[in-house]
Amino acid sequence: MNLHIEEMAEIARAYCGLIEKVEVADSSWLREMSVLLPRLHACVEALGTGDCGDEYTLMPDLDARFELFVLLRDLLGNRDGYWMEFDVARDSQSMSGSLADDLTDIYCELKHGLRLLEEEPDQALEDWRNGYHMHWGRHLVDAERHLYELRSQNRLQGE
């Protein structure tokens, strides 16, 4: 494996490990996530664009994905929702962004690549690149932006 793939795998393992220990998370969990996401962003960008073709092998387990989403949403509480640029109404019910959704989608994509890495490293690389450019890159940017806002408001620690 080349250096960029090894670094991506290391950061993907760190991210997935952080998500997987959410049930026993302390107040520093979200702060750790806010530090890890920019590293992940830089690392996946360093992988390049690849062919960005239609070949993409992720077949998500929707039940497991929903369970993780609910767990994260409950943990985040009122820190979960955020405004998207197209949101019009200004009541909390109309917030369309969800940090729990962002973190869940990123997790599913990274975990998928980690499962492929041993047997099919080229496919893992392509799925990470293509998935990032087609789907989870937007989640990553949105999560980084929202965590920045939470940090600037001193709201990263548990309430």
CATH class name, domain 3-152? mainly alpha
Per-state percent for the chain, helix, strand, coil, to nearest 5 = 70, 5, 30
Residue pair 11/41 in contact (Cβ under 8 Å)? The answer is: no
Which of 49, 15, 56 has its CA nearest to residue 32?
Answer: 15
Q: Tens of pLDDT along 51-92? A: 655 565 667 788 899 999 999 999 999 999 887 755 455 555
Domain boundaries, the chain: 3-152
Q: Which stretches of the chain drop beneath a pLDDT of 70?
A: 1, 50-58, 85-95, 158-159
Q: What is the pTM of this model?
A: 0.87
Dihedral of CA atoms 149, 83, 75, 38 in degrees, nearest 10, equals -50
* pLDDT attached to residue 57: 66
pLDDT cut 90: percent of the chain above it: 64
* pLDDT attached to residue 27: 75
